[in-house]
Structure 1
Amino acid sequence: MSNGIRVVAAVFVDGGRVLACRRAAGRPGGGKWEFPGGKVEAGEDPKAALRREIREELGIAIDVGELLDRSVTTIENRRIDLSCYHVEETDGAPIASTDHDLLEWFARSELAALDWAEPDLPAVRLLSADVDGQD
């Protein structure tokens, strides 16, 4: 993809709660909420990239499950191709991040009230729509 990046993100769900991470001040998008993850390197499998990024960022191992959403967002003439996957931690829940100053679990009904990074919004809408088990 010219003038764009491929990104993967992890959606942790624990019962009715979803993990959201707030970008640390001083980083691009500082103060915005997002799902943790990062860039897919050239030739890298997206699920492998997500496992690598979560190990680097949150210091935990994960199993990558179903794709929740894949959307392309254009921000300042840059295309961001974001794939959000359902994941499960395999060696403990995330408690700290190299890129975020806050990790919080929110009820699905609370997600829409957060100030999300624009590329994460399609996945947030899907998770929020599923609050009552209706779609």
Structure 2
Amino acid sequence: MEKIATRLRGVVAAERRRLPMTPVENDTFMGDSGPVKLIDLFAGRSQLIVHHFMFSPAWDQGCPCCSDAADNAILHLAHLRPDDISFVRISRAPIEKLQAYSTRMGWTVPWVSTHDTTYN
């Protein structure tokens, strides 16, 4: 079973690599201090990891699985900076909901909103 899963992951990865590159039409998000451009999310680094954190505008809290992943990722983020990598969370909920939930959970990772944009 493990070999089948490994082979299928390889198939999916190959299909992803064949997807066409497309321009990002909307590159403005809402951050803690106002609008933020995509390039700013890199924070001067050459690579960016984006966690598409599921948080619907209608929800009062984020997805439980995404929240668990966020709790467990915090310990490992220090390893990214030496490799020139930035990390950001992006969600559809308004920034005020993201800020409130982030504060409640004790997270300090940059999190931006795509609410009222065409990004998603």
TM-score (ref. length: structure 2): 0.29
Larger Rg: 2
More strand by share: 1
